[in-house]
Amino acid sequence: MATVLTQKEKDLRSISFGSEQGVRPHSLYREVADVRSDIEVAFKKLEQAELPTVIGSSIKVFDTVNTNSGVVYVSNFGVRSHIASVTINSKIVVKHPGGTSANDLTVEVLAGGAGAVSVGEDGNLSVITHADTTIQEIVDLINGTDGGSFFASLAQGANGGGASSTVAATSATNLSGGTGLGISASVFAVSGAGNLVSSSLKLSAVDTSNASGAKLSFNSATLSAAPVAGQIATLQVTCHTATSTVPLVVIAD
C-alpha cells in the first residue's frame, strides 16, 4: 500500500517531478529501473524548458499560397547541439548548423573553372575557383549560395582582404563534429476551406555574430492552399528537441 504523505511533505515536492512515484512492491531491480526512468523524464522536461526564444521575425504569410523569405532572430540557438565544420587549406572554415546529418556533408574545392558554388543533390558543397581565386571570394561565394545551410568564416591568420592569398584545389572532405538535430522552421495556417496548411521553411544562412542571439535566414515557401487574411498563422522554430511557436497574422496580398 502506498505511503500517505503529509501536507508538509506534499508542499515540498517538485511541481514538475513530484508525480514520479516509487514502484511497489519494492525490489532493488525495479527501484533502480524506476529511478533511471524518472531521471530521464526529468531531463526531458528540463530540455523542453530551454526553448529557443524568437526575438523578432520578418517572415510574412499572405492570403495567397506564398510565404515570403525573411529572417528570424532567436536566442538559445543550438540547444545541446554542436556545429560541424571543415577547414580548407588552413584558411577557410566552412560550417554547418548542428546536426548529425552534417557529418555526411562533404566540401570540395575545384580549380580551373569559373568561380561558382553549387550544392549537389546529395547535399555536398562544391566550390569552383580560378587559379587566382582569393579566400575572401570563396567566403563570399559560400555565403551567397541559395538554398544551402552553409556559412563560412575566415580562420585565424587568413587574409581578410583577400588581395593576395589564393586557394588551391582540395579533394572532397567530410565535415567533422556536429551533434543534435539542427534547426528548422515551419509555417502553419488554416485555409478558407478550414483545412490545416503548412510549409517547411528552408534555412539559407546563419549568422551567430550577434552576441544576443542568432540571425536565421529562410527562403520563401509555398503553402498547399491559401489561408484567410486576418487569421492567425503560426511560425514554429525547432532547435534540437525544443520548439518555439510564434503567432503571425495572415496579410492580404
Average pLDDT of the chain?
A: 78
What whole-number distance in Å separates Cα of residue 50 and Cα of residue 11? 25
- Containing structural domain, residue 243: 51-79+181-251
160 φ/ψ angles, rounded to the nearest 5 degrees: -60, -35
What whole-number distance in Å separates Cα of residue 165 and Cα of residue 133? 8
In a domain, 2, yes or no: no
What whole-number distance in Å separates Cα of residue 92 and Cα of residue 174? 14
Residue 99, judged by CB atoms within 10 A of its CB (0-12, 13-18, 19+), counts as buried
DSSP state of 176: B
Same domain, 196 and 146: no
For the chain, the domain total comes to 2
What's the confidence (pLDDT) of residue 230? 94
Give the pLDDT band of residue 190 (cuts 50, 70, 90): very high
Where is average pLDDT lowest: 165-169, 218-222, 235-239, 245-249?
Answer: 165-169
135: helix, strand or coil: helix
Share of the chain above pLDDT 90, in %: 19
Amino acid identity for residue 129 in this structure: T
- The residue with cell 548529425 is 100
- Give the distance, in angstroms, between the CA of residue 194 and the centroid of all CA atoms in the same chain: 30
Average pLDDT over residues 112-131: 78
Give the pLDDT band of residue 67 (cuts 50, 70, 90): very high
Q: Which residue has the higher pLDDT, 167 or 173?
A: 173
What whole-number distance in Å separates Cα of residue 239 and Cα of residue 125? 23
Q: Is the pLDDT of residue 157 over 60?
A: no
DSSP state of 230: T
- Percent of residues in the chain assigned helix, strand, coil, to nearest 5: 15, 40, 45
Residue 57, domain CATH: 2.60.40.10
Q: Which residue has the higher pLDDT, 78 or 166?
A: 166
Beta carbons of 203 and 170 less than 8 angstroms apart: no
Last residue of a domain, one of 145, 174, 203: 174
Same domain, 213 and 136: no
Same domain, 214 and 241: yes
28: helix, strand or coil: helix
Q: Which residue has the higher pLDDT, 33 or 225?
A: 225
Where is average pLDDT lowest: 48-52, 111-115, 164-168?
Answer: 48-52
31 φ/ψ angles, rounded to the nearest 5 degrees: -65, -45
What's the confidence (pLDDT) of residue 148? 61
In a domain, 118, yes or no: yes
Same domain, 55 and 169: no
- Cα→Cα distances 224→41, 62, 170, 234, Å: 37, 13, 42, 15
